[in-house]
Amino acid sequence: MRLLIVGTLEGQLGAASQIAMERGAKVTHANDVDTALAILRSRGADLLMVEVSHNIPALIPRLRAEHFSIPVIACGIGTDPKVAAAAIRGGAKEYIPLPPDAELIAAVLEAVTEDSQSFIYHDAIMKNVAALAEQVAPSEASILITGESGTGKEVMARFVHQKSRRANKPFVAVNCAAIPENLLESELFGHEKGAFTGAVARRIGKFEEADGGTLLLDEISEMDVRLQAKLLRAIQERQVDRVGGSKPVNVNIRIIATSNRNLQDAVKSGNFREDLFFRLNVVNLCVPPLRERPADIEILSKHFASKYAEINQSPDRKISDDAIAMLKNHRWPGNVRELENAIHRAVLLASGDTISTAAILLPDASGNLSTMQTPTMGASGVFQSSNEADEDSDADISNAIGLVGKTVAEVERDLIIDTLKHCLGNRTHAANILGISIRTLRNKLNQYNADGMSVPQPGDTGTRAPI
């Protein structure tokens, strides 16, 4: 991971830099924002850590104006909630108090960048895919990784990079589906100053950032056909032309692409170039959906439970046998990503010694969160658990999160508000944790406001009104 620290190198920030390097980060320093932007244009970075003495609310718009999609975390002396709230309101993803705590920095870096995702598997079908990936990783062949959304295609790509001869060089990922068509060319190939409105300085593209290493083209099926021709030339010639540039730039990279669609069908329909498909599909790694690798569900669930217990400074609880059985019986249409979100919520909801079935909530077809248990309607007209035989689970429901005696809507409301408080009112962060869209979250918050509830605002913890 490439970490760019903005601020002085003396004292506590220098200590934070040292901790980050010990955790495997490649750290670059900039004394001020202007220097930081110049470094981003010429070398790139995966994460910004900015001292709160700098104007974070002014920095974020400057990053957006130059189309830098990079997370920012703030750091400052002490744990003053007002300082932390101001940083979050300014656009920072997280706030790290100084003097730095090694475990906190490690957890935040992992949570924000997701660069330290481990390739975790146990199922026999995944062992076969991993063996093939390790076999082809040392080669220079382009690799196409296919599979449903959320199966872990990017994790597989990182695994290939780590096992390749380029492992000590950059791994740069670009999501072709997340960048507007008119900006993707500049994002990939870079641009010269004045090439278009907003091009305030020369900026290298992802190809140049990845020079010597690996470039991941995530969801390549979403790339416009016209840009595919330029991409094919760049791969064949190992040269890129910056937008507005007058001469090509040589690059030495290994290409890995991912797609959740059938590219052969896209070729037949004219939406994807056949020559580019053959150039990318030298080796195909197909990542199976989670429902086809049930032996991975338990090991992944335990990994996520430990991960988010550390991040949220919660007890590291064991997942109950009943909960494991229930997790294995679910179809997981969202695959590993859906499982991760479910376990993250469970860590926040659980109490006692274990994570029980009561703590595991999933969005239904309407986006509403409910338990994975089969619900029944009691005589009083409220939601109750159908698993009456499990007295310990019933007790955990009542004592931990009070599901019994509450309606599904009330449980959902409490979960949403508590998660929002945990995120200091940050809607986007809360929606990611909850596993719902930002639009669904906003609609529900608007309803809570209409019902007279006090909803946490960005930058504060919000106090819930009595219900």
Each residue's pLDDT tens digit, 327-368 = 998 999 999 999 999 999 999 888 888 999 988 987 766 667
| Residue 143 shares a structural domain with residue 83 | no
* Token output for 391: 């007295």
Cα separation, 50 vs 355, whole angstroms: 36
- 232-272 confidence digits (pLDDT tens): 999 999 999 998 888 899 999 999 999 999 999 999 999 99
**Residue 240 maps to a domain:** yes
pLDDT at 220 over 90: yes
| Residue 132 shares a structural domain with residue 109 | no
| Residue 300 shares a structural domain with residue 245 | no
| Residue 146 shares a structural domain with residue 271 | yes
Domain end marker among 384, 406, 428: 406
Average pLDDT over every residue of 377-393 = 38
Burial group, residue 364, by CB count within 10 angstroms (0-12, 13-18, 19+): exposed
Least confident piece of the model among 72-86, 223-237, 296-310: 72-86
Instruction: Categorize the per-residue pLDDT at 437 as very low, low, confident or very high, splitting at 50, 70 and 90.
Output: confident
The DSSP bridge pattern shows strands 254-259 and 214-218 to be parallel
pLDDT at 376 over 60: no
Give the pLDDT score at 282: 95
Closest CA to 232 of 177, 262, 272: 272
Average pLDDT over every residue of 78-106 = 76
**Residue 460 maps to a domain:** no
In the chain, the number of structural domains is 3
pLDDT at 60 over 90: no
User: Is 340 in a helix, a strand, or coil?
Assistant: helix
3-state SS, 84-119, equals HHHHHHCCCCEEEEECCCHHHHHHHHHHHHCCCCCC
Instruction: Give the residue, 426 or 175, on which the prediction is more confident.
Output: 175
| Residue 191 shares a structural domain with residue 63 | no
Domain end marker among 89, 113, 137: 113
| Residue 150 shares a structural domain with residue 262 | yes
Give the pLDDT score at 380: 35
pLDDT at 38 over 80: yes
Cα separation, 10 vs 33, whole angstroms: 17
pLDDT at 397 over 80: no
| Residue 22 shares a structural domain with residue 129 | no
**Residue 461 maps to a domain:** no
Least confident piece of the model among 9-13, 72-76, 436-440: 9-13
**Any idea how long the chain is?**
467
| Residue 356 shares a structural domain with residue 258 | no
Domain at 62, CATH number: 3.40.50.2300
**Residue 462 maps to a domain:** no
Cα separation, 203 vs 185, whole angstroms: 12
**Residue 456 maps to a domain:** no
Whether omega before 180 lies within 30 degrees of 0, making that bond cis, reads no
pLDDT at 93 over 90: no
In which residue are the tokens 């919660």 written? 314
Cα separation, 272 vs 333, whole angstroms: 26
Report the sign of the C-alpha dihedral through residues 103, 351, 386, 432, in that order.
negative
Instruction: Give the residue, 191 or 117, on which the prediction is more confident.
Output: 191
Domain end marker among 227, 258, 288: 288
| Residue 210 shares a structural domain with residue 248 | yes
**Chain mean position to CA 119:** 15
Instruction: Categorize the per-residue pLDDT at 418 as very low, low, confident or very high, splitting at 50, 70 and 90.
Output: confident
Closest CA to 349 of 372, 374, 375: 372
Instruction: Categorize the per-residue pLDDT at 372 as very low, low, confident or very high, splitting at 50, 70 and 90.
Output: low
Which one-letter DSSP state was computed for residue 54? S
- Percent of the chain surpassing pLDDT 70: 84
Average pLDDT over every residue of 187-202 = 84
Q: Where is mean pLDDT largest: 34-43, 95-104, 437-446?
A: 34-43
Instruction: Categorize the per-residue pLDDT at 302 as very low, low, confident or very high, splitting at 50, 70 and 90.
Output: very high
Report the sign of the C-alpha dihedral through residues 14, 108, 254, 273, in that order.
negative
The DSSP bridge pattern shows strands 171-175 and 283-286 to be unpaired
Give the pLDDT score at 109: 65
Give the pLDDT score at 426: 78
AA identity, residue 401: I
**Residue 466 maps to a domain:** no
Instruction: Categorize the per-residue pLDDT at 373 as very low, low, confident or very high, splitting at 50, 70 and 90.
Output: low
Give the pLDDT score at 304: 92
| Residue 90 shares a structural domain with residue 185 | no
Instruction: Categorize the per-residue pLDDT at 463 as very low, low, confident or very high, splitting at 50, 70 and 90.
Output: very low
Instruction: Give the residue, 226 or 459, on which the prediction is more confident.
Output: 226
Instruction: Give the residue, 289 or 14, on which the prediction is more confident.
Output: 289
| Residue 97 shares a structural domain with residue 55 | yes
| Residue 329 shares a structural domain with residue 208 | no
Q: What residues contact 443, with CB distance under 8 A and at least 6 apart?
A: none
Kind plus residue range of the DSSP H or E element containing 318: strand 318-319
Domain at 252, CATH number: 3.40.50.300
Average pLDDT, the chain: 82
**Residue 428 maps to a domain:** no
**Residue 156 maps to a domain:** yes
Q: Where is mean pLDDT largest: 180-194, 221-235, 427-441?
A: 221-235
Give the pLDDT score at 112: 56
Burial group, residue 165, by CB count within 10 angstroms (0-12, 13-18, 19+): exposed
pTM to 2 decimal places: 0.68
Domain of 58 in residue numbering reads as 2-113
* Token output for 184: 């993707």
- Percent of the chain surpassing pLDDT 90: 36
Give the pLDDT score at 322: 92
How many of the other CB atoms lie within 10 Å of CB of 130?
18
